[in-house]
Structure 1
Amino acid sequence: MIRHIFKIIWNERKTNAWIVLEYILVFCVLWFCVDYLYYMGKCYWEPVGFDTKNTYVLEMQKKPDTSFNNTEGNGETEVVDKQALAQTFLNRVKNYPGVENVCFSKWAAPFERSSYMSGYYIDEDTTHNVTFRLRWVSENFFDVFRINTTAKEISGWDAPGTNQILITPNREGLFGNEEYSVPLEDVKKLTSSTSDRKEHTVIGSAEKMKDGYFNSYFCNILLPLVREEYDLREMQICLRVSPGADKDFEERFTKEMREQLMLGPYFMSSLKSIDKNARITNWPTDDLNGIYAITAFLILNIFLGIIGTFWYRTQARRSEVGLRLALGSTRWGVKKLIFGETLLLLFIASIVGVNICINIGHTELLELLDIPIANRMDAGIGNEQEFINYALAFGLLAVISLIAVWYPARQAAKIPPAEALRDE
């Protein structure tokens, strides 16, 4: 039957050439839409390294023109006051109904735009200065965000002079960068590349982390946030609430705790859901909306174009259909013939289209045209993506084409043979 369909396509090659050309153009555009949407979906559903469900970030501000020193104004008194206020704050928030845990951190909270980077030497190697992201966290940070670690004991890791740290791997499970990396389990010590050459002992590792849904996994160093650095204004304050207490929590907590959290020069500025805030600040709305619009436009035009084309072709071939029916072909056989012809034309176009797309993908043309493209390397996507793109693009076009051609095929199969032959 395929051989017979090929003969039909060849006999109608002038008309079919335009259909194939239309299919090629649509296939190429749809290929890059599918490529980008698949990349975005893969990145979004990947674990970010934190469990942010039912978690909130609480921001404190400092009253203007207030002195923090309570007596003589020396630095020592200031540190003691900050620690005392932080402890009072911690107790009051923990005692609020529904709050499971609270933690302090600097440059460590999920989906925060600010970050701190620094260079380190790994173990005894002093030739490769590798840059890592640094996150200072309190002990409760791991409980709030439910981060699993391989460390035997985290409690007390912030004791002075211990210099204990945790590390996280990149996507491949290694620790380092593109130029120099080692297996995560082999790392025992890190030495700062700054002038002090401070050494840190690695006591374990945590899950791989990334800064946003669509960012790559970056190696992190988790350091203890020592109590001398506690400052409610400067720290990121995160809390986890029980699932039952999550409903309207922001509104209730803000209303009931505003006065209780007026501590010294500090006052509560805002309370935000980390999940909701992440979807606002970490979502490339413009790029996605553009791809959605192009894809929807393509689907509509493909449908209308194919149904119009095959309606015209069917009407022009009434005598052929009538002759087939008169010679004993069934109505279902006529439908299968038209369906097969459609899919074969699409297959021919897709073979040409896939070669065009792969070659364009190896150039910088899309980037020069400012078209959103998938960053496959950061997402850990390999050459298998070409097969996925082909399957999705071909499958979507095939479904749309079969739906569009179904009605013309049905009408063609209903033509009485005598009437079709008389028209001829």
Structure 2
Amino acid sequence: MKFILHNLHMIWARLSNNGWVLAELFLVFIVMWFLCDSLGCMKYTFYRPLGYNIDHVYRLTMIQGGENRDTTLLNADKFLNILKKLELEPTVEAASLSYWSLPMSGANSYNTLTVQDTIERNGRMIYATGGYTRVFRMQENSGRVFASLPIGINNVMLSQAVVDYFKKRVPEFSLNTPLAWRGDTVNTVTQGGIVGSFRDYRYGNDAYWIFMRLGEQFIREEFGDQWAQIVFRVKPAADGPDYREQFLREIAPRLDTDNIFVADAEPYTQMQAQFEVLYGDTDKVNSQAIVVLFLLGNVFLGLIGTFWVRTRRRRSEIALRLAMGSTKRQIFFLLVGEGLLLLALVTLPAMVVCYNVGVGEFTIGRTALIATWPVEWSIIRFLLGSIGAWLLIALMVMMGIWYPARQAMKVEPAEALHED
């Protein structure tokens, strides 16, 4: 306590000089909080789990060429034949056929479900065969899996985000609650289960998806000659850097059906990278990272420079303290303590400003200032950003004091006093 009071007295005695330092630290804290918040949200968004797994997952690239050898076959029949043969391959763990339903593909289909005729939720429709959730290893209740969902347009499974949306508006909502398609007052939609929370893509929010299982006859009747997508999961022991080449050489020729041929098996991790580039996420991340690092570098140099110059100007004071019997260790801790106390004095008012900026951003506009990343605003997020900002600034203050103070202490006290 005596140490703190002594430093407060020193700060007050030099208030005219310290006022500018306090103002600088106040502004630097706000900027640093924003930088820490941005970097933290960026890393959290990048590394948090998707909610499904795309490792060892491949998507078939198929091409159609020449005339039909069997004119009785629809494209649906050919795709189903490819799927059946693919599922029999020893290296394949699971496979699925779908229409406009793959994550990170850019092809989408939407529809709207209603509860009690007034509560609506628009969601992405997932038209897929039963192996879809196994291929992507989505979270399911063991007693209500997608593969056992009855076939038909009035049987669905909902993603957790859709369920949570309805529960907020209808507290008694459950798996037994009847649903309806918007505009359909005759048919009732039955829920078959819930698929755990996941995101459409790495930088997206929790996905609002509505799953519908496809059967062979349903595919023929409803999709006919439309183009399908086929994905499959390879057993981990069979997968490797050369699997794609091996697949095209040994397996793909066996899958060809009539005039539809398998041209490639693209790893889904590669699809993810391509999607993020095309969707603009890669550019957004790179731009934000460059801006953040540029500002961080400028703050770093500016703050260190301020305390560097401030410490060098106190050579005579350091010399006098050495002459009066203070040790170098005591002087160093005195200077660092003063710098950290200056930071502590501005921390609370700066945090108030930061908190109000954050609340205002999420309440008023959700512009690109802070709400760039899909991370929910919370006290924990605010405190983590504040702690990170305080520690970084404290490190800069110590670095700005340490070297010039060390150089000043090497000078003989009499010499320094004589120069002064």
CA distance in 1, matches of 2:103, 2:147: 24
Distance 1:294 1:17, change over 3 A: farther
Judged with a 3 Å threshold, the aligned counterparts in structure 2 of structure 1 residues 154 and 318 are, in CA distance, closer, same or farther, namely closer
Matches within 5 A, 1:236-255: 236-244=229-237, 245-255=239-249
Distance 2:171 2:68 in 1: 46
Report the counterpart of residue 180 of structure 2 in structure 1: 191
Closer, same or farther: CA 107–363 of 1 in aligned 2, 3 Å: same
* Aligned mate of 1:131, from 117, 122, 125: 122
Q: Which aligned pairs between 1:68-79 and structure 2 lie closer than 5 A?
A: 70-71=70-71, 77-79=72-74
The aligned residue for residue 74 of structure 1 is none
Residue matched to 1:382: 378
Structure 2, unpaired ranges of 5+: none
Query: More helix per residue: 1 or 2?
Result: 2
Whole-Å separation in 2 of the counterparts to 1:386 and 1:338: 30
Q: Which residue of 2 aligns with 1:234?
A: 227
Helix, strand or coil at the partner of 2:406: helix
Q: Secondary structure at the match of 2:97?
A: strand
The 1-side partners of 2:392 and 2:405 are apart by: 20
- CA 1:190–1:274: 2 relative to 1, 3 Å: same
CA contact 2:68–2:259 (8 Å) conserved in 1: yes
Distance in 1 separating the partners of 2:128 and 2:172: 24
User: Once the 2 structures are TM-superposed, how far is the Cα of residue 391 of structure 1 from its aligned partner?
Assistant: 0.8
Which of the residues 183, 196, 214 maps onto 1:207? Answer: 196
How many angstroms apart in 1 are the aligned matches of 2:146 and 2:15?
77
Partner residue, 1:89: 82
C-alpha deviation, 1:156, in angstroms: 6.9
2:175–2:191 contact (8 Å) kept in structure 1: no
Query: Shift of residue 422 of structure 1?
Result: 2.5
The residue number in structure 1 matching 2:11 is 9
Structure-1 separation of matches of 2:146 and 2:380: 44
**TM-score normalised by the chain length of structure 1:** 0.84
SS at match of 1:268: strand
Give the aligned partner of residue 388 of structure 2.
392
Provide the aligned length of Structure 1 versus Structure 2: 410
Deviation at 1:371, TM superposition (A): 4.5
- SS of residue in 2 equivalent to 1:176: helix
1:101 is paired with a residue whose SS is: strand
Distance 1:269 1:182 in 2: 50
Gaps of 5+ in 1: 72-76
Rounded to whole Å, the distance in 2 between the matches of 1:95 and 1:270 is 18
Q: Which residue of 2 aligns with 1:419?
A: 415
Query: Corresponding residue for 1:320?
Result: 317
The aligned residue for residue 170 of structure 1 is 161
State the one-letter code of the partner of 1:166: M
Q: Which of 212, 215, 219 is the aligned partner of 1:223?
A: 212
Contact 2:126 2:211 in 1 (8 A): yes
1: CA distance, partners of 2:15 / 2:36: 30
Quote the Cα distance in structure 2 between the aligned partners of 1:67 and 1:198.
41
2:210 and 2:9 map into 1 onto residues whose CA distance is: 66
Residue 134 of structure 1: CA displacement?
Answer: 1.9
Structure 2 residue identity aligned to 1:384? I
Where does 1:7-406 land on structure 2 (aligned, <5 Å)?
7-63=9-65, 70-71=70-71, 77-79=72-74, 82-83=76-77, 85-96=78-89, 98-122=91-115, 125-150=116-141, 152=143, 154=145, 157=148, 163-170=154-161, 174-176=164-166, 180-182=169-171, 185-195=174-184, 197-228=186-217, 229=219, 234-244=227-237, 245-282=239-276, 284-363=281-360, 371-374=368-371, 378-406=374-402
Cα deviations by residue, 1:201-253 (Å, 9 ceiling, x for unpaired): 22222212221122121333211112131669622211111223232323332
Question: Given that residues 158 and 226 in structure 1 are in contact (C-alpha distance below 8 angstroms), is that contact kept between their aligned partners in structure 2?
Answer: no
Cα separation, partners in 2 of 1:78 and 1:400, compared to 1, 3 Å = same
The alignment partner of 2:393 has SS state of helix
Contact 2:60–2:266 (CA<8 Å) still a contact in 1?
Answer: yes
> Deviations 1:274-318 (Å, cap 9, x if unpaired)?
223223423722332233223323343334334433333233212
Supply the AA of the counterpart residue of 1:328.
G
The alpha carbon displacement at 1:102 in A equals 1.2
Structure 1 pair 335–256 and aligned structure 2 pair: CA distance change class (3 A):
same
Contact 2:87 2:94 in 1 (8 A): yes
Matched residue type, 1:320: E
Q: Distance in 2 between matches of 1:127 and 1:315?
A: 71
Determine helix, strand or coil for the equivalent of 2:180: strand
Please report how far the alpha carbon of residue 104 of structure 1 lies from its aligned counterpart in structure 2 after TM superposition. Answer: 1.3
Identity of aligned residues (%): 27
**Which secondary structure state, in structure 1, belongs to the residue aligned with residue 261 of structure 2?**
strand
What amino acid does structure 2 have at the position aligned with 1:119?
Answer: T
Cα deviation for residue 335 of structure 1 reads 0.6
TM-score by length of 2: 0.84
| Larger deviation, residues 136-145 vs 293-302 | 293-302
Say if 2:57 and 2:232, in contact at 8 Å, map to a contact too: yes
- Corresponding letter in the other structure for 2:371: A
> By how many angstroms is 1:10 displaced?
2.6
